[in-house]
Chain A
Amino acid sequence: MSILWSAEGRRKLRGPAAILAACVAMSAALIEASHWFLQKERLDARGASARLKEAHARVDKVRRERESLDQSTEVFRMLVARGLMQPEQRLELVEQMNGLRAQHGILALDYEIAPQRPLAVAGGRQFPAVDILSSRVSVRLRALHEGDVLAFIEALAASRQGFYPVDRCAMRRMEVANPDALQARVEADCTLEWITMKEKRVA
């Protein structure tokens, strides 16, 4: 074997050794270059895959939003029809109180509408696109029958200018000295919120 490393051996094997070295270098370079390019392509493909995923998510989101808006549109039309997006018309409420009192045979009616305020909702939930406004309404009334009281409250809550969720109500039977006399038998004390909304305008 040592003869291969002699001067003659080195001289004779110089060519094949150079070819071998060149082949090793060329193979290594080809493998490394193609591997690098493969990794780059895979990275690009992974990036494209991520972008595709994002695009899918974006389209899904807008699709859900569209579906949600499709559903919301109907509800919103109803809300608009209820005057939810209009400012408070207090005069109309005063007139409505008067009308309802006569309609339901309310013998006595006291009411108070507090100043309008932004309504804080439970859980601190925020609605960035609209202002939720409310005026607290307290109603004290007397009637012959509790059915009249309930009908009055129901009619008030169904008013077409905003929403009127009644959150407290106390009804009490009144003692009368003369059962045959026409006088109030039921007394009620209720509070409710008169809720309207206003779209926030971006300056």
Chain B
Amino acid sequence: MASRYLYLTNARLACLRLSRGHIREAREFEVSEEGAAAFEAYLAAAPALPTRFITDLVEEDFRPDTIPHVGAGDRQAIVGRKLGQIFRNTPYRHALLHGREADGRRDDRVVYAAITNPEVLKPWMEILERHEVALAGVHSAAVLGTRLLEALGLVYPHTLLVHFSPGGALRQTYFRAGEIRFTRLTPLDHEDERSLGEIVADETTRTWQYLDNLRSFAATDRLEICVLVQPKDRAAVEPALTGFEQIAYHLLDSDEVAAKVGLKPPPRGSEAVAGSPSGAERILARLLERRGIENHFATPEMRRHWMFGQARNIMNAASIAILGIGIVAVVMNLHGIFAASDEDEKAGREIGELNREYDQMTRALPAAGVGGAAMRDAVSFYTTFIQGYPSLTGFLVPLSGVLQDHPRVRLSQLSWQATDNPAATPPLASQPPRVPPPVRSSGKGADVAIRPPAEDASTAPFGGGRYEVALVEATVSVPSHDFRAALGEVERLAGEIRAVKGFQAEVIESPLDVRPSLVLQGRHAEREAPGMEARFLLRVVRKGLAT
């Protein structure tokens, strides 16, 4: 973005328009009423640009000082008071803070600067004010010299920067360790018979003497004098500048310096760019463009149009940013909306297809002469309760297989029941053997009467027959009084039944009950049969195959 730089000396006002190192326009106006009128006419027609004012005036005064090191607020108050005391009659005043002293109380080093005669600036400021020019600041050209030394890498303990100002003046600024200490502007007399080099040599020597009188140098110190000259003047200046032990001259070619600071030459034949192509004012303006610097002399009232512009720019940028954020958010939301809408549409299509499929399948469901529900119920009842229902034959076949291996066992009776209760006991009326055994037990609990609780089978719920329970009454033929053989036979029989998959068997009544709580009675007759039939009772449970 382009900016305007107004470089004011006591004789001329140079007006520069810079944009990224290019001088787009350069004009000069006389410091006179006519010059001011011409400048105002120019300004009325020129585009409104942010403007910086650089002063290179005789009326500039610089006074080094030290103040106690205090907080920022207190320092501002002290500096403000000092400025008011020293430069009472001008609003163009400023304090440059240069760090702290190395020893003692380590006070802050300050240089008070001011344009002691505000009338010099007044007509120009009034013009700027009338045209509501956005004045960013009023800067001292002497202070900008610090920037030039930094840009060129000229770091000396004692430096005197010398350059020529528009309108014919010689500006000498003394820097000690990079800090401005003194400046002097000497108008050049056109009738002076001395060459430009001799003038520079004389004036710089005079300045050295002045500084030396102020005890600015130690005995071994040397003042490095950097003279910024146009290439066309170099031949006239260089021979006269012969240094000596306390003074050394360094000629700075203004074209080279301009190139170093990024000042690009104006277009050839451009009428809008008058004056020297690499004058000191252009180099300093370029330094100011390259990196901003704090305002020196302008009051907030003078800078208000620039501040308004800055605030306007910030608000406009914020407006664009907020609108941009809004648009980005809307785009993201729209993306989500489209995605959700697509998903919705896709789901709708799928639902439609599924509904059609459902209708087709529903219509195609088999009916088989009765309602689907009746079919389902009938099949469900069948598969749940009938399909796996046990049969008596199915129970007896494996049992008969076991009994075949026990020829001495003779089945008397069997009571079988299909039930869902594995603890159920089918009814059984005990049949005593034809020939009672020679030994029998008696007493409470000896005769186990199998009398299950009364149950009305016609009202009991019909189960799926998950268990088959049977009471098996039988006798085993053994030699007389050989109850051990009888007991062994019965236990083996029960064990073999248990070995059949799904079967459980327990002896309910054994051939001889030998529990200690019972009475045991035996009888040996004179004539005894060679064998006996010992009765026993088994309870057999089979878990249904369907469970």
Contacts and interface: CB of A to CB of B under 8 A. Distances in A.
A30 B330 contact: yes
Given A66-B365, A73-B366, A199 B371 contact: yes
B464 interface: yes
Nearest to B415: A170
A30 B327 contact: yes
A28, A35, A175: residue with the most chain B Cβ atoms closer than 10 Å: A35
A146 B37 CA distance: 146
A69 B418 contact: no
A48 B351 contact: yes
Given A3-B301, A24-B322, A130 B391 contact: no
Nearest to B431: A172
A52 B349 CA distance: 9
Contacts of A68: 376
A26 interface: yes
Interface in B203-236: none
Contacts of A34: 329-330, 333-334, 337
Contacts of B327: 27, 30
A187 to B, nearest CB: 9
Contacts of A175: 434
Contact of A52 (B350, B362, B368): B350
Interface in A66-117: 66, 68-70, 72-73, 75-77, 79-80, 84-85, 114, 117
A51 B346 CA distance: 12
Contacts of A165: 385-386, 389, 418, 462, 465
B392 interface: yes
B368, B392, B434, B463: residue with the most chain A Cβ atoms closer than 10 Å: B392
Contacts of B396: 150
Given A75-B379, A122-B420, A51 B347 contact: yes
Contact of A45 (B340, B392, B415, B459): B340
A12 B313 CA distance: 12
Given A4-B307, A163-B386, A77 B368 contact: yes
A134 B393 CA distance: 23
Interface stretch (B75-83, B249-257, B353-361, B526-534): B353-361
A163 B377 CA distance: 16
Nearest to B434: A175
A42 interface: yes
A127 B380 contact: yes
Given A76-B375, A127-B380, A136 B385 contact: no
Given A35-B333, A122-B464, A55 B354 contact: yes
Contacts of A120: 459, 461-462
Contacts of A190: 392
A66 B380 CA distance: 15
Given A38-B333, A132-B381, A197-B381, A150 B392 contact: yes
Nearest to A170: B415
A27 B336 CA distance: 18
21 contacts: A17-B315, A23-B318, A28-B326, A34-B337, A44-B344, A55-B351, A62-B365, A65-B365, A65-B372, A70-B366, A76-B370, A84-B378, A121-B381, A123-B461, A130-B378, A157-B391, A165-B389, A170-B415, A172-B412, A190-B392, A197-B378
Interface of A: 3-4, 6, 8-9, 12-13, 15-17, 19-20, 22-24, 26-28, 30-31, 34-35, 37-38, 41-42, 44-45, 48-49, 51-52, 55-56, 58-59, 62-63, 65-66, 68-70, 72-73, 75-77, 79-80, 84-85, 114, 117, 119-125, 127-130, 132, 134, 136, 150, 153-154, 157, 163, 165-173, 175, 190-191, 193, 195, 197, 199-200
Given A76-B368, A80-B369, A171-B414, 9 more contacts: A12-B312, A23-B326, A55-B354, A59-B358, A70-B366, A84-B382, A132-B381, A167-B417, A171-B413
